[in-house]
Amino acid sequence: MFANTEFKTIIDVVTRFPTEKACHQYLASRRWSDGLMVCPHNDCGHEQAYVYKDGIRYKCKKCKLVYTAKTGTFMEASKLPTIKWFLSIYLFMHKKGISSIQLSKDIGCQQKTAWFILCRLRLALGNETKEQLDGVVEIDETFVGGAARFKHRNKRPKYLKEQGRDLPDKTPVMGFLQRGGKLRAMVLPNVTSDVLYHAVRKNIKEKSTVMTDGYRGYSGFDYLYDCKSIDHGKGFYGDGEIHTNTIEGFWSQFKKGIKGVYHKTTPKHLQKYVDEFVFRYNYRTLAVQPQFDCVIANMKCRLKYKDLVA
């Protein structure tokens, strides 16, 4: 199989994939890494197929249906040349975020098409399998939207601080960051203790050590986790190991990214942006090609335009 250093630069990507066939063969090598072209039609799953002369299409020997390495992926219904998808993935992972306007200029397509590409990439990233976190996990939330948006709670106006849990025009985003491990973040409907409790239970293994800033009083799970907290409100910051600085660092990147590239986002689409930034954060230390492959590994999801604008 391929070494993971085949391409690094954007020129490498263009050179490596001169034809549609070269793109498809790469997708096939990633999708069917054991060489068995598993039929994606109607749970057929048959492992033997005839290969067409174009080197792109396969015909299942059992159900006789035709498919390609793109069938059942976010690229399936797209008429764009695959190299434009590859360049989109490259730019999407490589930059700190890219707007649909910029992407449309970079790869040469309509802005609407670029917007749809980005939506599908984000959907794919959100598709990633998420194991529970353990070890030492920092928990923190941030609020997006509204007048005092993007501000950490200790920088928000006092009336908002006092308002506490239910900030009416803001969307809460909850984050869990395992030190030396992965980050998870999700948009929540509110931050009542019930909702928080379920988010924590779902994402963090029992008996882990959780670090909170103590503001919300993540009560109710002391018996499940080793809880450590600091209290910004009282002016105490990270006391040695007890801090939430790592996740706060991520929020700061996220807010800068959203503000700088996307300008505005609606609660409806916020989770997709969160997924994008979390994915990029989790794979930030990888080289270009492994990052690219991480996106490809999640390509098996479909998204129809009408569902997106509904």
* Rounded CA separation 30/167 (Å): 45
Return the closest-CA partner of residue 67 out of 88, 44, 99: 44
**Shorter beta-carbon distance to Zn ion: residue 59 or 201:** 59
Sign of CA dihedral 199, 204, 207, 209: negative
Residue nearer to Zn ion on the CB measure, 76 or 134: 76
Q: Following DSSP, what letter does each residue of 216-266 receive, concatenated? A: S--TT-TTTSEEEE--GGGT---BTTB--HHHHHHHHHHHHHIIIIIS---
Contacting residues toward Zn ion, per CB under 5 A: 39, 41, 44, 46, 60, 62-63
For the bound state, the minimum distance from the C-beta of residue 46 to Zn ion, rounded and expressed in Å, comes to 4
Nearest-approach distance from CB 237 to Zn ion, in angstroms: 59
To Zn ion, the closest distance from the beta carbon of 28 in angstroms equals 16
CB of 250 to Zn ion, least distance (A): 43
57 or 205: CB nearest Zn ion: 57
Q: Which is nearer to Zn ion, 66 or 301 (CB)?
A: 66
CB nearer Zn ion, residue 269 or residue 302: 302
* Minimal distance, residue 64 CB to Zn ion, in Å: 7
CB of residue 29 vs Zn ion: minimum separation in angstroms? 20
In the complex with Zn ion, the residue whose CB is nearer, 48 or 163, is 48
* Whether 63 contacts 46, CB under 8 Å: yes
Round to whole Å and give the CA distance between 59 and 85. Answer: 24
CA separation, residue 230 to residues 166, 218, 274, 294 (Å): 21, 12, 25, 36
CA distance 228 to 120: 39
Mention every residue, 6+ apart, whose C-beta is less than 8 A from residue 28. Answer: 37, 69
**Residue closest to 226 by CA, chosen among 202, 242, 243, 209:** 209
